[in-house]
Structure formats: structure tokens, C-alpha cells
Amino acid sequence: MGELVHLEVADGVGTIRLDRPPMNALSRQVQEEIRAAALEATERAEVRAVVVYGGPKVFAAGADVKEMAGWSYQQMVDNSVGLGSSFTAVAAIPKPTIAAITGYALGGGCELALCCDLRIAGDNARLGQPEILLGIIPGAGGTQRLTRLVGPSRAKDLIFTGRFVDAAEALAIGLVDRVVAPDDVYAEALALAAKLAAGAPYALRAAKEAIDRGLEVDLATGLEIERLQFTGLFATEDRSIGMASFIENGPGKAVWSGR
């Protein structure tokens, strides 16, 4: 367990919890502990779904600007690789992931939320990529993941201006998927994660892989990725269980083996 980032596991759900008050600034230490937690969540078979959570007051208000302000170009070249790869480790978790967003999710915090499959936000949430106001641009996926999620025009609006969006606008543009009362964010994320954790793990993994890899290629290649993932599931025990349960009892009643 890290000092500033913890992986907590209960009932098939792992919570990657950031714990660097007051704003969960994403220092190099936090980045490396995020990577370690993501890799542990990936490797632990009992973790079937993951919630990324910054606590009841703030998700993460961005990079540790004080830490990086004095870095040279060479230092930033070296450190930027670690920042990007630590977030990519979250994106690469082969299980459903949900960002539980309270308060600010700005800069690197927004980029971390973008690494998750789904985002649940409190109605007090503020999201944005304000790096342009520091004379830089997003450097941990903002120009790429945000564009793929909300489209190029909306991404350019947010990145060019550095403005924050509230929860209502974030929902309207597809930046978040659900808005609830701030006190309900974590419970809502846990409930959704628990529902997903009860699903067929290899089918969920295949669905995530097909969607994520398909976004990176042309349609014909994406369809081939989907076909291979689809046919591969016929080697799993859960496929047999699911089809037999459907024939005997109707949909949604299978009890999965996880194999």
C-alpha cells in the first residue's frame, strides 16, 4: 500500500483512493503510487471492477505545479514519460473502471478521470484542462482522450480557453456519465462497480478491449478485433453457463464461474 494512494478491496471492487490533502496534487510520488495501485488492481483476480476516488471534497486539482515549476526541459522530458505511463496504467486495467468525482477534477485530475471507463460526478464538481493558463498544454492524455470522448470542437474549446465546466455542462457534453449529490458520489460509484463486478469477467474484458482498441483503428480493423474477441469467448466456461442459463431461465440469471 502506498503512502498517498491506497488500493482498498471489498466484495470484488477495488478502490484506488488518492489521499494527499488538501487538493490531491499529482506529484511524482502520487503518480508512481497510482501506477502501482493500477498494476495491483490488474493483477488481483478478486478485483472485478475498480473505482478511482479522491475523497469527499476533491478528486484531484491537477499536477503539483510547485514541484515542476523549476524543472528544465530535460527534466520535463524525463518526468513526462512517467506521468503519462502512470495514467495509462489506469486506462489499461482490463476491468471496468469508474471515476467518482467530487469537487475539482482539473488538469491532471481531469486526465486521470478520462482514463476510466465511466465517470460519476457530484453536482458540485468542476472539470477542466486549464494548462493553457500556465503557458503549457495537457501532457497526460488531455488532448487525446478528451478529444475522443467529447469530440474535437468541444475539446478545443476547453483546452484553448482553460475554462472549467460545471457538472451540468460536463453531463451535457458527455464528459461525465451521471451526476448525483456530492455525498452520494462514492456510494453510487461503488454500487455500479459492484453490479459490473458481478458480471462475466472475460466478457467484460473482451468488450473493453474491443471498444478501446477499435477506437485506435479503421472500421474494418475494428470489426476484426471485435470478431476475434467474440469468438474467443467461446473458449470460456462462462459462455457455456450464460447460454445454458438463457435457454433454461431467460436472460440475466446466470451465475458466473469467472472462467
83 pLDDT exceeds 80? no
Residue of 2, 108, 141, 142 marked catalytic: 108
254 belongs to a structural domain: no
Distance CA 104, CA 176 (A): 13
Last residue of a domain, one of 163, 178, 197: 197
Task: State pLDDT tens for residues 134-180.
Answer: 999 999 999 999 999 999 999 999 999 999 999 999 999 999 999 99
Sign of CA dihedral 78, 74, 155, 214: negative
Note if 131 is an active site residue: yes
CA distance 104 to 121: 10
Using CA atoms, how far residue 162 sits from 67, 130, 145, 157, in Å, is 21, 4, 16, 8
With cut-offs at 50, 70 and 90, classify the pLDDT of residue 72: confident
For residues 97 and 135, state if they share a domain. yes
Residues 124 and 226 in one domain: no
Residues in the chain: 259
Q: Could you tell me if 71 and 53 lie in one domain?
A: yes
Q: Are residues 56 and 108 in the same domain?
A: yes
Based on the domain organization, do 125 and 214 belong to the same domain? no
Q: Residue 110: which CATH number?
A: 3.90.226.10
What is the chain's mean pLDDT, rounded? 95
Task: Please tell me the total count of domains within the chain.
Answer: 2
Catalytic, out of 37, 38, 63, 170: 63
Domain membership flag for residue 180: yes
Shared domain check, 59 and 150 = yes
Q: Is 256 within a domain?
A: no
Of 25, 103, 131, 242, the catalytic one is: 131
Tell me what pLDDT residue 113 has: 98
Give tens-digit pLDDT for 94-124: 999 999 999 999 999 999 999 999 999 999 9
Our measurement of the distance from residue 53's CA atom to the centroid of its chain's CA atoms, rounded to an integer in Å, reads 10
- Last residue in a domain, options 159, 177, 197: 197
Q: Do 222 and 139 fall into the same domain?
A: no
Residue 257 within any structural domain of the chain? no
pLDDT of residue 13: 98
CA dihedral 248, 250, 253, 258 (to 10 degrees): 70
**Calpha distance 48→5 (Å, rounded):** 19
Residues 106, 209, single domain; the answer is no
For residue 243, tell me if it sits in a domain.
yes
Q: For position 47, what pLDDT does the model report?
A: 97
77 and 167 co-located in one domain = yes
Q: Is 108 a catalytic residue?
A: yes
| CA dist list (Å): 119 to 96, 99, 105, 236, 253 | 11, 5, 11, 30, 27
CA distances for 185 relative to 91, 129, 165, 179, angstroms: 21, 22, 18, 8
Residue 258 placed within a domain: no
Q: What is the CATH number of the domain that holds 232?
A: 1.10.12.10
Q: Quick check: 74 and 105 in contact, CB under 8 A?
A: no
Residue 125 lies in a domain: yes
Range of 239's domain?
A: 201-249
Q: Where among 157, 181, 197 does a domain terminate?
A: 197
Whether 70 shows a pLDDT value over 90: the answer reads no
Note whether 98 and 141 are same-domain residues.
Answer: yes
Q: Among the residues of the chain, which ranges form H helices?
A: 28-43, 65-68, 73-91, 108-114, 142-150, 152-161, 167-172, 185-197, 201-214, 219-232, 237-249
Per residue in 52-64, pLDDT (tens digit) is: 999 999 999 987 7
Shared domain for 226 and 98, answered yes or no, is no
Residue 21 near residue 4, CB atoms below 8 Å: no
- Per the CB < 8 A criterion, the answer to whether 254 and 246 are in contact is yes
Residue 43 counted as domain residue: yes
**Are 235 and 148 in the same domain?**
no
Dump pLDDT digits (tens) for 192-227. 999 999 999 999 999 999 999 999 999 999 999 999
